[in-house]
Amino acid sequence: MQLAITLLGQEAANPMTEILSAIADCHCKIVQSHVSTLADLSAGHLLIEGNWNHIAKLENSLDVIAKKLDVKIQKQRPQEIGEGEDQLPYCLEVITQGEHDVIKPIVSFLIDRHLTIHEFSASRYRTGYLLAGTVFTAKFIVFIPSGVRLLSFREDFLDFCDHLGIDALLDAVL
């Protein structure tokens, strides 16, 4: 059985230490995790695995931690996923200068082509003395159904990025 957990709380409260201790104390295992700092906040997504009584015990522990540390914790038991269509993992990386937002058009482009966005991360930062302004970078891991013609998709994606003034890379994930 699995449990998906999301959390958001003040970094000073150190919620991850408490949550990781609770996972170990409840005899559960981390299947997948992503934790980061957003300004002064700690944010995380975890997929936990254990037998049903250990998961139930962990859920109760998370409620106690949320109240104790004043953090927001959401939890949900994901449904079993059956065998689906073969999909190929690809990494899309984009970089652009300026303040315009490119996430929405890129996500729309991918969803319109029925691709699964497994994960993405993005950041905007001020550049050094060589380039004045800001740079925006994003990295997507997408699953492309095996029926999609990769050469056509690659050409469409790169043309789309050129139209928006975005530099892009598209590579298979090995």
Q: Which tens digits make up the pLDDT trace of 53-96?
A: 999 999 999 999 999 999 999 999 998 655 455 888 999 999 98
Residues 6+ apart with CB under 8 A from 92: 106, 110, 139, 140, 141, 142, 157, 168, 169, 170
Residues 6+ apart with CB under 8 A from 173: 89, 90, 91, 141
Report residue 94 as tokens: 């984009």
Instruction: Identify which has the larger pLDDT, 81 or 119.
Output: 119
128 pLDDT exceeds 60? yes
Q: Which stretch, 5-14, 79-88, 105-114, has highest mean pLDDT? A: 105-114
Taking the model in full, what pTM does it have?
Answer: 0.68
Cβ count within 10 A of residue 116: 14
Cβ count within 10 A of residue 28: 22
12 pLDDT exceeds 80? no
- The pLDDT score that the predictor gives to residue 15 is 86
- The pLDDT score that the predictor gives to residue 84 is 53
pLDDT band at 129 (very low <50, low <70, confident <90, very high): low
CA 115 to CA 28: how far, in whole Å?
Answer: 32
